[in-house]
Structures are given as C-alpha cells and as structure tokens.
Amino acid sequence: MTGVRLDQIRELVSQGKNEQAKVACRRLVQSAPADAAAASLMALILMNLGEVPQAIFYAQKAAGLSPQDFRARMNLAGLLATERRFDEAMKEIDAATRLEPGSGETHQLATLCLLEQGKHAAARERCAAGLKAAPEDHDLLVTRANTLLDCGDAAGALAALDGLAAKYPDDAFVLSTRALVMNYVDGVEPGRVRAAHEAYGALASRGAPDLTPRGARTPGRLRVGFVSPDLRGHSVAMFMLPLLRHLSRGEFQTFAYFTNRFEDETTRVCRGLVEVWRECGNVSDAALAGLIARDELDVCVELSGHTKGHSLGAMAAHPARVVATYLGYPNTTGVRGVDVRIVDSRTDPVGEADGHATERLVRLDPCFVCFEPPMEAPEVRARDAGRAPTFVSFNAAPKLSPRVLGLWAKVMESVPGSRLVLKAAHFSEAALREEVLGRLAAAGVARERVEVLSPTKGRAEHLAAYHAGDVALDTYPYHGTTTTLEAMWMGVPVVTLAGGVHASRVGVSLLQAVGLQELVAKREEEYVEIAAGLVMDAERLAGLRGGLRERVRASVLCDGAGFAARFGRMLRAIAEEGVKR
C-alpha cells in the first residue's frame, strides 16, 4: 500500500504539484515513520519548494534509516552542500564513495564543495581523481574546465569546453561557460567570441515564449527592475549601491529580483534602497520570467551576463518592454531577448564594437560605472623609505594570462631590484602560490623578487595591503575594475594596456575618468616604458600617492547623484525608443 501511495505522490511531483505532494507525503511519513523511501521523497518535495533546512531533516532521516543506500547519502550530501555545510557534506560524500567507489557523482559533488570553499587546487585534484574512476562522466568533464580556469589555465579550460560544446551542443551550461572563459584567453578572434555567445543564445531562445508586455504602458513612473544573484558582498553590488541610492523615486519605481539564496549585510542595504524586492533564489528561469512579466516592467536590467548564477534563460523570454544587460559581464550575452547592452564610448568605441554585440550598444558617458568609496579603507600611508620599487596586482588568478606574466617580466627586467606583489582569493592554497611563482620564473622573474599574498579577512586588511605597492599593473586581456579603483583609492596608480574589446578597455575608461590617460599604453613596449618610468619617478609617485584618492573622489567616478541622473535619462530614452534593430 505504501508503494502505491509513493507512486501517487511522485506523479504529483512530476506534474509540478509540490504543495499537494507535500501534504500527501507528510501524511505518509507520519503513518510510516520507518519508511526511508517516504522520507527521501519528502526531502525531494521540500527541496523543490525551496524549504532546504526541512529537506535536510528528512534526508538525514532517510540516510539514517537506510545507511547503505548510495542515493540517500548523495541526496543528503547535495542538500548540505546547498546550505554551505561543506564539512558535513564531505562526510556523506565519503560514505557514498565507500558504497560505490567507481561513481563519478561523488567526485563531482566533492569537487564543487571544494570550489565553493575556494580550494581550487584541491578541487582540481579531486576532479582528476574522479575522471580516473569515470573518464566519460559529463559533469566531471565540465567541472574540470572550471577548475582549470580557477587555477589560472584559461586556455586549457577553453580547449576543454570547445570539445564539450562539440560533443554536447544542447548543453546550455557548457555553452555559457565557454562564452565566459573566452574573455580570459588572449587572441581569440572577436567573430569567434560572438559566435560562441550566439550559440548559447540560440539554445536559450529555443522554445522560449515571448512575454513582452503587450498592453499600453501605465502612465507615471518608469518601472525598472534589476536582476542579479550578486546583490551581496560582491563587486556588482558595490557598483550598484550609488545608483540605487540616487535614482529618483519620483521618476522610477524600482524592483530587484535577487536570485541568490544567501544574503548578507550588503543584501539588506540593497533591499532598503528599492521599492519592490523579490526573493528569487529558488525560482526557475521560466518562473522568474513569468514573475518579471507580471510586474510589467518598462526596463529590465540583468546584471550577470554569463557569470555564475545568471538568469539569461529568463531574459530569452523578453519579459519586459525593454531588456538590458549591464555591469557584471564584459561582453555580449548572445541572447536575442536582450535588446540593449550598457557600456561607454571608451570601453566600446562607436563602430567596430557594435559589431561584437547582438544587443544595441547604449553608451553611458563619460564612464559606465560609479564607485562608492569603501568606508573601511585606511588612510593612504607615505611610502616606506628605502623600500625597493614595488609593483602590485591584486587581480584574480584567472586573469593572469601567459601574455601578461611575460609583460610583467619585461617590466621587472627594466627595473633592476624591483619587486612584484600578487594577491588574490585564489592564492589561499600553497599549491597555487607555488604555481604562479613557477610561471613567473619561466617568464624570467626570479622567485625571490615575487611575493604572493594569501587572502586577508576583511576589506580593510585587503586595502591596507596596497601600502606595500608603488605602481599597480593591470591584467590583460581581461582588465580589472574593482581592483583598479581600489588601487587608486589607496594612492597606487595603475598602468593598463588597451585592447580592442570591452574586457581589455575598462582600464582605459577608468584612467581617463580621473585624468590619467597617460598611464594607458597602446602597445606592449609602451606599457613597459610607462610602468618602469613611473616607478622610478619618486617625485611623481609621491604626488600621486598623496593626491590620487582626492582625485578619484572629485571625479565622475564618485559622483553618485550625477551618475544616477545620467542613468535615469538613459533608462527613459531606451524605454521611449524601444528596440532598434
């Protein structure tokens, strides 16, 4: 009889009737408390409803009732990982591995747990071990590409993803990840980059409904929504805060669709700055698109592009009168449901840049971002007398391309006795610190001239690390954004190499915004000359160190009210003009 009832409840779940299934399954587990299958089904239903803590309770019960059940162990491990209870999850994974040593699934979940904890080298090793046990496991092969990127091998990641895209052309995650990784690899032809993004876009659009609001627009305030999983302690939120603080509530009704299950103090600040806040951490793309459409937005601005946790699948349904992409991603989305991409004339000069995007480029001049100075920042400190000339780069490890490491080697060769300090979250592991030292040594930089710093606990400590630097070296082909602004705020000028696409032109926009266009190089030789000349010019360095913070503060980069006014005018323009193709 229990089996029949289980089948009936499973049928409800398959029809998406999870609330009905929950009621029926609760009765079943009460009447059959020792039935592991009933407890497992209850955990599944609660997970579908986003009630993860309660789902864990039933998954633990199922695993306790049936400790030799591989699936029960893995279900529990997955739920624990979802709640970021990684140590407990790993114990369940280990138990499941003992039950099925040849399973790729256990290694896959273990790898993801390690990646979420920032243990990138350990994740790479675990993934490699999994592929020995299950060499054709699809999920492990995809995760391997992510571990390669996180460990600084973007070219290797792209090669792996190219192979996977050919084998699995209908895998949206593979296609999206491949598009993302291309931003980190030097020399990828722009036409190929666009084609990769369009491949994802075509797949995302296949079968997507057209949810464009058809009725006449309601008179009054413009309805504007922002979609992001990063309205938390993340660089996207840091750049959104001044906009949300200053965007006129008299002209705009603001909505936020927060697509993350985890929030922090920054999330709470963001929530207080918008009129309507939607919790969407457990919402599918289809449901999200429907929710946005019901809100009848004039403009929907997605803030992720192809970065982690994006909602481009929802954007494919065109759930607002105008759909825009902004801020979080340095390239086109490739999704035809996205009408507009917000950039500026320096990141995306009129002409060739327009051909790189499937969206219409709208230029928010003079700079596409606004910077809210960190309250935690310590005061700029005078340079330590007698210290060797010191270059710094606090950019993420995936941005440290072979080309830029070779370029930095030339800079250091031009300044005998100089030092280089690197810092990134990825360098929490000794293995990755050792690897980047080895890569620099292969480029000609002696290990004793390089210091690789582990992550610090808080933002104040992170910013204080800039006290040790004289000149910051930007990465290539993927420039820094937050790192460039933080370096300048701490009195450390940044030297950048301008490229031909948005990712390699952000530094151009930021430096020109503070009147330091002379620190923008057009050629590698010029980059070396500028960096070497600047670090040896003690008088100029002292002037920049003492005045750069005020220079940034007085620039358009810190004019939140002015930026919001320009952004508002842009929103009105794109809402009134509609889609121009």
Residue-wise pLDDT for 417-464, tens only, equals 999 999 999 999 999 999 999 999 999 999 999 999 999 989 999 999
pLDDT, mean over the chain: 96
Give me the mean pLDDT over the 278-303 stretch.
96
Look at the block and give the residue holding tokens 């084609």.
Answer: 195
Residues 382-414: b if buried by 16+ CB within 10 A, e if exposed: ebeeeeebbbbbbbbbbbbbbbbbbbbbbbbee
Flag whether pLDDT at 108 surpasses 90: yes
Residue 414: C-alpha distances to residues 366, 387, 410 (Å)? 34, 17, 6
Q: What is the pLDDT of residue 334?
A: 99
Give the contacts of 574 (CB within 8 A, at least 6 positions apart). Answer: 299, 322, 324, 339, 340, 362
Q: What is the pLDDT of residue 555?
A: 98
Instruction: Tell which residue, 536, 538, 534, 537, has the closest CA to residue 511.
Output: 534
The Cα 392–Cα 451 span in angstroms is 9
Rounded to 10 deg, the angle between the 172-182 and 190-205 helix axes is 160
Quick one: 457 and 543 in the same domain?
yes
318, part of any domain:
yes
The Cα 80–Cα 142 span in angstroms is 22
Quick one: 534 and 570 in the same domain?
no
378, part of any domain:
no
533, part of any domain:
yes
Q: Give how far the C-alpha of residue 511 lies from the chain's centroid of Cα atoms, to the nearest Å.
A: 23
Q: In DSSP terms, which residues pair with 343 in a beta bridge?
A: 363
Flag whether pLDDT at 50 surpasses 80: yes
Of 46-55, 287-296, 458-467, the one with minimum mean pLDDT is 46-55
279, part of any domain:
yes
Quick one: 366 and 250 in the same domain?
yes
Quick one: 299 and 424 in the same domain?
no
Quick one: 413 and 530 in the same domain?
yes
Q: What's the predicted TM-score (pTM) here? A: 0.94
Quick one: 568 and 540 in the same domain?
no
Confidence of residue 581 (pLDDT cuts 50, 70, 90): very low
Count of the separate structural domains present in the chain? 2
List phi, psi (to 5°) of 190.
-55, -35
Rounded to 10 deg, the angle between the 524-535 and 538-553 helix axes is 100
C-alpha R_g of the chain: 25
The Cα 35–Cα 156 span in angstroms is 47
| DSSP SS3 for 323 | strand
Tell me the helix, strand and coil percentages in the chain, rounded to 5: 55, 10, 35
Of 25-29, 211-215, 481-485, the one with minimum mean pLDDT is 211-215
Flag whether pLDDT at 219 surpasses 90: no
Q: Give how far the C-alpha of residue 559 lies from the chain's centroid of Cα atoms, to the nearest Å.
A: 25
Flag whether pLDDT at 579 surpasses 60: no
Q: What is the pLDDT of residue 58?
A: 96
Give me the mean pLDDT over the 483-500 stretch.
99
478, part of any domain:
yes
| DSSP SS3 for 329 | coil
According to DSSP, the β-strands at 252-258 and 276-279 are parallel
The Cα 277–Cα 254 span in angstroms is 9
273, part of any domain:
yes
Confidence of residue 349 (pLDDT cuts 50, 70, 90): very high
526, part of any domain:
yes
Rounded to 10 deg, the angle between the 2-14 and 36-48 helix axes is 20
The Cα 195–Cα 249 span in angstroms is 40
| DSSP SS3 for 578 | coil
Flag whether pLDDT at 226 surpasses 50: yes
| DSSP SS3 for 362 | strand
10, part of any domain:
no
What is the CATH number for 425? 3.40.50.2000
Quick one: 502 and 472 in the same domain?
yes
Quick one: 416 and 474 in the same domain?
yes
Quick one: 549 and 568 in the same domain?
no
What is the CATH number for 258? 3.40.50.11380
Residues 395-407: tens digit of each pLDDT: 999 999 999 999 9
Quick one: 541 and 565 in the same domain?
no
Q: Is 130 exposed, middle or buried (0-12, 13-18, 19+ CB in 10 A)?
A: buried
Q: What is the pLDDT of residue 524?
A: 98
Quick one: 395 and 321 in the same domain?
no
Instruction: Tell which residue, 140, 185, 179, 122, has the closest CA to residue 476.
Output: 185
Q: Identify each DSSP E strand in 387-534 by its residue range.
A: 390-393, 419-423, 450-453, 471-473, 494-497, 520-521
The Cα 412–Cα 470 span in angstroms is 13
Q: What is the span of the domain harbouring residue 430?
A: 390-556
The Cα 178–Cα 174 span in angstroms is 6
Confidence of residue 580 (pLDDT cuts 50, 70, 90): very low
- Maximum C-alpha span of the chain: 86
Quick one: 319 and 462 in the same domain?
no
Q: What is the pLDDT of residue 333?
A: 99
Residues 334-351: b if buried by 16+ CB within 10 A, e if exposed: bbbbbbbbbbbbbbbbee
